[in-house]
Chain A
Amino acid sequence: MRFVSFFVDGKSLAVPEVLKPPDVSAVPVSFHKLQVLDTPDFSEVSPFSAELQASLSGKLLLFEELPYSIDVIHEHYLNGCLAYEKGIEEAGGSFVCKRCGNDKPRLFSSFSCFRCKEKECVYCRKCLVMGRVSQCTPLVRWCGAELEWKLDEVALTWTGELSAAQRKASDGLVSRVGGKGELLIWAVCGAGKTEVLFYGLERALKTGQRVCLATPRTDVVLELLPRLRKVFPGITLAGLYGGSEEKLDGAQLVVSTTHQLFRYRDAFDLVVVDEVDAFPYSYDSSLEHAVHQAKKKDALIVYLSATPGRKMKKRAVAGGLPHVKIPLRFHGFPLPVPRFVWCGNWKKRLKKGRLPGNVMNWVEHQLEVKRQGFLFVPSVVALHQIVALLQAVFPGIEGVHAEDPERKEKVMKFRKGEISILVTTTILERGVTVPFTDVAVFGAEEDIFTESALVQIAGRAGRSKDDPAGEVVFFHYGKTSAMVDAKRHIEGMNREAGL
């Protein structure tokens, strides 16, 4: 869109073309062509909309994302409550998207723009799903009075008990809340990470901090919301994920997928990043960027992981990253150690329409002893073949993958025990907890089964205190170092726990 700018009291004001005062002769130009862009001084006495304040505090939004007319927005700008920022910054012929941090030339393009009348209005192709940021669209930020929360209503109503190892990590976190920097909580699968956060969250919320719990998965947001709502009944809580209803209230505790954090700026005093090693957080550096933009400068970032990546592990071991380890599951039993079983050239067999005999035996045995099992496979193609072969012999076996329209239903059925063996791609490597379940990996030598993937997969077994000794088998056609490292990782954690 186009703005006119003119000086008032030594400040260069930007006024949307449609609101141009009749006596101003300045020519409207595209937003990015404004030479100077000032924000009027914040005036304590001017009234402001509390709803707009709640919608915009700690965020960076497009005009389209704010359900307010341009008049209301402009009025708040004149009162110094909100500021405009360039969406696309240009330096030396290359562009940077100020929302998502994209700076790859191939992910910028331009079009002849009807709004600003420029022949080439450059836009970011990377974060389009959140609404297009182009050169002529300002990003809007709140710079008026800060949001305040009703602190006397913050209370942790959780009555459970932490194990000794959980307690140690919890204390480590509590003592750091209020400070800045980083903390890694390195906890085995099944350590009870969420409970470890409770006291730290309580401390932060009670002192008026704004807190974000970021996770790579929508499933996890949906799982955490009711749990947090139950233990912190007094606070304002928002859950954000792709397709969630746009919540424009200023919640003190935000549970969000990492993607949604792009809309936040200088917002949080405490950010907890769950499963920091998991795709897509570790995969996509722009998401790391999102976390850093969303937090305040002096915020504390807490990373949670059972399998931190190599870089993070190195920093932790070298002492550059403060960390606490929980090597023990909450129920106190050791992690099941995987067993390696050679299953021959399974690709060749699949082509001939057969499965390795020992895999068939594993399935048959599970059914005999009536224990449920996950069978992890390396690809969707292999999944379809294996499921078809198994179903021909054992009805009641199902397969699931990321694009499966019945994904949710099948996982639910498995949880209820209505599916005996669930064949799955790596999508279920994390987060899914079903007691009395054994785990097998088919083709464990494939590249997709990295050390951390295998540790996570093994972590699906023995989750319940009533069945702590689940079984884990890696069927392979040649041992890989990832497999060996995964086994060593698990044994190391057990040793560290004194088991």
Chain B
Amino acid sequence: MNYCLYCDEGFYETVSWSFVLGIAGEMHFCEGCSSSLERIEGEICEICGRSFSLFPEQYRQENRCNDCIHWEEDVNWRGVLVKNRSLYVYNDFLKELISRLKYRGDAELVMGFRQEFRKIYQHEFKGFVVVPVPLSQERHYERGFNQTQLLAELLGVEVEHALERVLHEKKQSKKSRQERLEMKETIFELANNSKLVYGKSVVLVDDVYTTGATLRQASRVLKEGGALQVSSMTLGR
């Protein structure tokens, strides 16, 4: 008997051929919770990795969604983020789950995604330097951990803390008008060990890709630090 990592309901693994052969995946969630997780499959936007099946045709042009087309039209942001890949659709269930992970502080929940998250890394970003999106010191102390770091550690490779998050209040005054107009908010800056990304391909790890703005901010800072190219992977999209 297993117990669901999310709802603690007891359940049995379904016996299939892969189970008998010992190549079946780890089962962390009960059937009910598993079925509430919508895996992103089939046609996706080649940049942000959103599923086209849930997306009205008119918001798409060929293999890109309109949001990404806008990003790429902007000279400031073109090519900053090569691509993003996500595991699940950011539906109400995943929203609840991520909020329990982040705000309630249930660190153990990330274990349910180890196998699938690794697969994405192996298929799409093998050999890339893994950098979690950082929290500010205050937020980090409040939560006790950084959920993106936990997700990054699932990948089984060295995790590099190449970025630091700076406080908005502190930096607000330092910004020039030009910078503000260009949306060059300084949320992130390079950490001491940022040399590790120089000349490398980097994959950022975050919990959710929503507008893509945060990930692009982080990515730009890494590129300024000499990263060759930056992509990202997240749990939800």
A residues neighboring B (CB under 8 Å): 106-107, 109-115, 121, 123, 125, 128-129, 132, 134
Contact of A114 among B3, B8, B108, B143 (CB under 8 A): B143
Check if A128 sits within 8 Å of B144, measured CB to CB: no
Check if A111 sits within 8 Å of B3, measured CB to CB: no
Is B44 interfacial (CB-CB < 8 Å)?
no
Check if B8 sits within 8 Å of A128, measured CB to CB: no
Measured in the bound complex, the distance between the Cα atoms of B137 and A115 in whole Å is 10
* CB nearest to A126 among chain B residues: B8
Check if A132 sits within 8 Å of B8, measured CB to CB: no
Q: Min CB distance, A465 to chain B, in Å? A: 45
Provide the residues of chain B in CB contact with A109, threshold 8 Å. Answer: 106-108
Provide the residues of chain B in CB contact with A106, threshold 8 Å. Answer: 3
Task: Name the 4 nearest CB pairs between A and B, nearest first.
Answer: A109-B108, A111-B107, A132-B105, A128-B104
Query: Could you give 20 example pairs across A and B, Cβ below 8 Å?
Result: A106-B3, A111-B107, A111-B108, A111-B144, A112-B145, A113-B144, A113-B145, A114-B140, A114-B141, A114-B143, A114-B144, A114-B146, A115-B144, A123-B107, A125-B106, A125-B108, A128-B105, A128-B106, A132-B104, A132-B144
* CB nearest to A132 among chain B residues: B105
Contact of B100 among A107, A112, A123, A128 (CB under 8 A): A128
Provide the residues of chain B in CB contact with A110, threshold 8 Å. Answer: 107
B residues neighboring A (CB under 8 Å): 3, 8, 100, 104-108, 140-141, 143-146, 150
Measured in the bound complex, the distance between the Cα atoms of B141 and A110 in whole Å is 16
Tell me which of A106, A107, A115, A125 has the highest count of chain B C-beta atoms within 10 A of its own C-beta: A125
Check if B8 sits within 8 Å of A107, measured CB to CB: yes
Measured in the bound complex, the distance between the Cα atoms of B104 and A157 in whole Å is 44
Check if A111 sits within 8 Å of B145, measured CB to CB: yes
Q: A114-B143, A132-B144 are in contact. List 14 more A-B contacts (CB 8 A).
A: A107-B8, A109-B107, A111-B107, A111-B108, A111-B145, A111-B150, A114-B141, A115-B141, A115-B144, A121-B144, A125-B106, A129-B104, A132-B104, A134-B144
Measured in the bound complex, the distance between the Cα atoms of B143 and A134 in whole Å is 12
Measured in the bound complex, the distance between the Cα atoms of B144 and A112 in whole Å is 8
Provide the residues of chain B in CB contact with A132, threshold 8 Å. Answer: 104-106, 144
Q: Min CB distance, A101 to chain B, in Å? A: 16
Q: Min CB distance, B46 to chain A, in Å? A: 35
* CB nearest to B145 among chain A residues: A111
* CB nearest to A1 among chain B residues: B141
Q: Min CB distance, A477 to chain B, in Å? A: 27
Provide the residues of chain B in CB contact with A134, threshold 8 Å. Answer: 144
